[in-house]
A and B are shown apart, each in its own frame.
Chain A
Amino acid sequence: MTAPANLPPNPDPVLNVEITPDLITRHGLLPGEYEKIKTILGREPNLTELGIFSVMWSEHCSYKNSRPLLKTFPVEKADTSAPYGRVLVKAGEENAGIIDIGDGWAISFKIESHNHPSAVEPFEGAATGVGGIIRDIFTMGARPVLLTNSLRFGRLESETVKRLFRGVVAGISHYGNCIGVPTVGGDVYFDESYDGNPLVNALCLGTLRHDQIKRGAATGVGNPVFYVGAPTGRDGLGGASFASRELSEESQADRPAVQKGDPFMEKLLLEACLEMMAVPGLVVGIQDMGAAGLTCSTCETASRGFAGIEIELDAVPQRETGMNSYEIMLSESQERMLVIVKRGREREIEEIFEKWDLHASRVGEVTEGDRMVVKQGGVTVADIPARSLTEDGPLYHREAKEPAYLAETRAWTPDELPDLNSLMLQDALPQMLAHPTIASKRWVYRQYDHMVQAGTVVEPGSDAAVVRLRLGDKEKFVAITNDCNGRYCYLDPHRGGQIAMAEALRNLACSGAVPLAMTDNLNFGNPYKPEVFYGLRESVRGLAEACRFFDVPVVGGNVSLYNENQNGAIDPTPVVSVVGLIEEEAHITRQYCREPGESLILLGGYPGELGGSIYLMFFHGLKTGAAPAVDLAGEKALHDTIRAAIRAGHVRAAHDLSEGGLLTAVSEMLFGKTPLGAKLDLDEIPEEARLDALLFGESQGRALLSVAPGAADAVLALAKETGVPARLIGEVTKDAELAVHCPERETAAFWRVAKLRHQWETSIESRMTRPGLDDDETD
C-alpha cells in the first residue's frame, strides 16, 4: 500500500510495529473493515489508530449488527396534542434522551448494561455500571434523582451464582448509596440460562429544565477542550488484552481487565459539572468518558459538532507512568468527562473544579476541518476524520433462522400433566412464593439506600416505584418499572418483546401513571448465530410494535451481545424500562390491600394458559409451551380501565398479574403493612379450564383491583363500558387467612397469611445469609 502522509514514528517504540492480519483479527476487525480503514485514511493506520477504529467500530459503540433493527423503534410521540411527553432529545442523538414533562421541566433517562465486567468481577463490574449510567445522565445537564437495575442470575442453588449475586448487589449498593442517588426499583430473575452469564443493567433518571439541556458537541473553532475527573490508568484494557500482554514490559498481573470505580470522585464530578453547567454560556459541549473513554468522547463530540478536535496526551492526567498513546486512548478509567468550554473563560471552570478539589486540565481545542488529531509530546500519533469513526462504521444485516426447538415448544399441550387437586394446591402456593424469582427481593433492596433525596413515595416492592420530583417550587410524581421475562422470549421472542412492554405499562397503570417513554437494553447471545439473531430481530419487532401501538417512544437504550458460554446463549432478554407520570398525588396506588371489606376484582378474565409459566418450570421441570398470548388492544383497554377506576377514587390497591399468576398476585397484595386476609370464591370458571392454569398460569392482560367497600358495582360497570372482562372474585378479610374455594372443581384450600409471607419474605435472604452473621430484622 502506498501510504501518503504517513505519520511520524510513535514516541513509544513498541507501538511502531507492522500491522499484521493477526493483529487485525485480534482487534476484532474483519479484513473488509481494515480495507475500509485504509481507504478512509488513504494509508495504513498505525497501531494507535487501529485501536481507535477497533473500539469505535465494535458492537458496543457502533451497533454494527443491531442498528438496522434499532432504526425500527419509534423515537417520537405520535400524539402531539398531549400536554407533556414530547421528545426533546431523541434516541441516538446524545448520551441519553430527554422528555418534556411540562412546565418547562424535563427528564432524561437511560439504561446500560455491564454484563461482562460483572461476570469477571461482580462488585466492581456492577458498581462501575452504575457510575457509567449516572454520568450519561448528568452529562445532559440533568441532576440524577433515581436509579433502577435489572438483574439476571443463574440458579440460586449454586455457590457461584450466590457469589455473583452478592457481589453485584453489594457493588450497586456501594456506588448508588455513596453518590446519594436512591435505587428505587428493579427486577431480578433466576434462570438456568443465566448460569455463568449474569446480566446487570443499570438505569438512571435525572431532571432538568428545558433551558439546561447540554449537548455533546464540539463547536466553535479555538474553544478549549478540558479533561476533568479522575486521572487515566491502564484500566479496562482487558478488552484489548493482547495489547497489554505484548505491548508492555510490565507483567500482565499489573494490568487489571476490570475497572474500579470511585463513587466519591463521581459525586464530586457530578456536583462540579452541574455547578459549571449552571453558569450561562460557559459550557459549549460535554461528554462523559464511558467505554472507549478518551477515544469515544473526542471523536463523538467532534462528529456531532461537525468540527475537528486536537488533543495532546501529555496534558492528560495520568495515574501511572509510561503510558503510551494506545493505552491512554483506549483506557476505560472511570469518573472522567470531556468538556468544551467557551474560549476566554477557562479560569471559571478551573475555579469551580478547584472548589471541589478536582482539576480541570486543558488537553486541546476545537479545530477547523474534520480531523481528530492526537499528539503525544508534540508528535502526531493519530490523525483520523472524526466522522469516519462515528458514521462510517460497518453495518451488517445478519442472517436469522428460527430455532428448531420452537416448533416443538409451540406444539406442546398440558394434556399429559395431572391437574392440581386440593392437596397439591395446599403445598403449591407456599412453594411458588418461595421461588427466588417470585420471592420478596427485600434482601436486595434493603442494601440500597432507596430513600435518599427524600422523594421516594412508593418504595421498592410494589408494581412500580414512585418518586416525587422537586422541580423549583413545583412537584411532580414519576413512576418507573423494569420488565422482561426471558422465558417468554425463549418460547416466542416476538411475543416476549410485546409482553415486556405490555407488562411494564400494566405496572405503570396499576401505580396510577400515564406512560411517557421507554428505554431498552437488548441482552442477547452471539448475533453471528442465526438462531440468536432471530431472537434479537423478533424481540425488537415485538417491542417496536408495542411501542407504536401504545405510542410510547424509545428514548435510548443499549445492546449487549455475546452473552453466552459453552452451554449456549442466554434466553433472549430485551429488558425494557418505562417511565410514567402521575398527575395527582391522590392517584398514586400501591399493590397492598388496605382494609377488610375491600372487594377483589379480577380484570381480564381466565384465559387459562400454562405455557412458559414458573409453575410449569418449577413443578414439572418444563420450559415449554406457547408463550402467553398478547392482545395489545385488550391491554390498552385494561390500562385505561385501571387508570379510570383509580381516578374515580374507587381503587385502594392494584396489582398486575404476571409471574406466578392469580394466586401469587393475591398473596402479594396481602403482604402490606397491615395483616389482612382474603376469601376467594372462584365460581363461574370456564369449564374447560385447568385449575393449575387458572391459579398459576401467566396469561397476560390481567390485573387485580382491591376496591373500596361499596365501590365494586361502579368498577364492574366501568369495565363493562370499556369492554374489559371483570369479575368480583373475593373480599379482603380481617382474619389474616387466604381461603380459596372453587365449588365447581370441588377444590378448596386455605393458608395463614403470616406463613405465606414468611416463605416469600425469607426465601432469598435465608439462602444468602452467611453463617455467623445472625440476621436480625426490624420493619
Chain B
Amino acid sequence: MKIAVLQFPGSNCDQDAFHAFADALGLPAEIVWHKTTSLGGADLVVVPGGFSFGDYLRCGAIARFSPVMEALREHAANGGRVLGICNGFQILCEAGLLPGALVRNRTLEFRCLTSNLVVEDAGPDWNPQTVGQRLRLPIAHGEGNYRIDDKGLAKLKANQQILFRYADAEGNPTPQGNPNGSVDNIAGIRNEAGNVFGMMPHPERAVERIHPSLDGLAVLRALTTPAAAGASS
C-alpha cells in the first residue's frame, strides 16, 4: 500500500502524517506538493491537518482549488482511498467529496486535548476496533463543529457512514463529551461509496509510545488494509 501525503501552503501536520505511515506503519510514503498534478500511483491519499492557505475565508475553502485536487478527485472517483485529517477533513467537505461542513467550535475557542471516541459501525472496511469500543485520540482545532441537515444526517446513519463519535469519560456520546458542538457528536465520517474518510481527531499523533495513546495505529491500519471486495465500488 503506497501513501501520498499532500502538502499545501500552510499544512503543518504533513510531516507527522508522513512519519506515522512511514515509520510507525512501515509503509512507503511520500509528500506531494499541492501544485503537482499526479499522485504517483498512491493507493491512499492523505490530506493532512494544518491551516492550508491560512484557513482564510473558510477552512479548506482555498485549498480545494489547488492543482493536485483534480488528481485527488479522479483518484476518489476511481475508488481510491482518501483520508482527510482535521484540516484535511475540512478540505474534503469543501471539495464536496464528503457531505456536511465544519464550523466554529461552539465555545469559539480552539480546543487541544485528548478526546474519547466511540467506534461506530461503518461497514466491513472500518474496523479499527470492535464497534462500540473506545479510542483516545488527540484533537486540535478551532472549527471542528460538524454540521449537516437532518436529511443528510439520516442518510449518514442509514449508510453506516459515521466512523466515530465524541464520548465522555464513560464512553457515552453525551453533550459533556462533545468538545466542539458537532451534530450527534460526530467526529469522523466517510462517503457513501466507502472510500473517502474524514476525521477531526489526529490518529497520527497517537502512534508512538511517547504519545497520549497508541490508538491511532489501529485507525491507520484499518485504513491501509486493502478494501474488502465490493466495499469501494
A764 to B190 CA separation, bound complex (whole angstroms) = 38
| 3 tightest A-B CB contacts, nearest first | A180-B12, A264-B54, A454-B16
In the complex, chain B residues whose CB is within 8 Å of the CB of A776? 106-107, 175-179, 181
In the complex, chain B residues whose CB is within 8 Å of the CB of A447? 109-112
A451 to B177 CA separation, bound complex (whole angstroms) = 20
23 contacts between A and B (CB under 8 A): A177-B110, A180-B12, A180-B51, A262-B54, A268-B9, A268-B10, A446-B109, A446-B113, A447-B111, A448-B110, A449-B110, A449-B112, A451-B202, A454-B19, A454-B204, A454-B211, A459-B212, A470-B19, A585-B210, A773-B107, A775-B107, A776-B179, A778-B113
Q: How far is the CB of A464 from chain B (nearest CB, A)?
A: 15
The answer, yes or no, to whether A204 is at the interface (CB within 8 Å) is no
Q: How far is the CB of B13 from chain A (nearest CB, A)?
A: 6
The answer, yes or no, to whether B55 is at the interface (CB within 8 Å) is yes
Q: Would A267 and B15 be within 8 Å (CB), given that A173-B110, A778-B177, A779-B113 are in contact?
A: no
Q: Which residues of B contact A (CB under 8 A)?
A: 9-10, 12-13, 15-16, 19-20, 33, 35, 49-51, 53-56, 106-116, 138, 140, 142, 166-169, 175-179, 181, 202, 204-205, 207-208, 210-212
A39 to B181 CA separation, bound complex (whole angstroms) = 67
A777 to B167 CA separation, bound complex (whole angstroms) = 10
A312 to B179 CA separation, bound complex (whole angstroms) = 52
In the complex, the chain B residue whose C-beta lies closest to that of A267 is B10
The answer, yes or no, to whether A179 is at the interface (CB within 8 Å) is yes
Q: Would A357 and B9 be within 8 Å (CB), given that A178-B55, A454-B204, A454-B205 are in contact?
A: yes
B15, B109, B179, B208: the one within 8 Å of A778 (CB): B179
A769 to B106 CA separation, bound complex (whole angstroms) = 12
In the complex, chain B residues whose CB is within 8 Å of the CB of A777? 113, 176, 179
A778→B205 contact, CB < 8 A: no
Q: Would A264 and B112 be within 8 Å (CB), given that A180-B12, A777-B179, A778-B179 are in contact?
A: no
B176→A452 contact, CB < 8 A: no
Number of interface residues of A (CB under 8 A): 39
A776 to B181 CA separation, bound complex (whole angstroms) = 9
A474 to B87 CA separation, bound complex (whole angstroms) = 29
In the complex, chain B residues whose CB is within 8 Å of the CB of A454? 16, 19-20, 204-205, 207-208, 211
Beyond A177-B140, A776-B181, list 4 extra A-B contacts (CB 8 Å).
A447-B109, A776-B178, A778-B169, A779-B169
A778→B142 contact, CB < 8 A: no
In the complex, chain B residues whose CB is within 8 Å of the CB of A775? 107
The answer, yes or no, to whether A356 is at the interface (CB within 8 Å) is yes
The answer, yes or no, to whether A241 is at the interface (CB within 8 Å) is no
A451 to B206 CA separation, bound complex (whole angstroms) = 10
In the complex, the chain B residue whose C-beta lies closest to that of A459 is B212
In the complex, the chain B residue whose C-beta lies closest to that of A271 is B9
The answer, yes or no, to whether A450 is at the interface (CB within 8 Å) is yes
Q: Would A264 and B113 be within 8 Å (CB), given that A452-B16, A773-B106 are in contact?
A: no
A357 to B108 CA separation, bound complex (whole angstroms) = 31
Q: How far is the CB of A564 from chain B (nearest CB, A)?
A: 32
In the complex, the chain A residue whose C-beta lies closest to that of B202 is A451
A180, A355, A455, A778: the one within 8 Å of B115 (CB): A778
A451→B56 contact, CB < 8 A: no
In the complex, chain A residues whose CB is within 8 Å of the CB of B204? 454
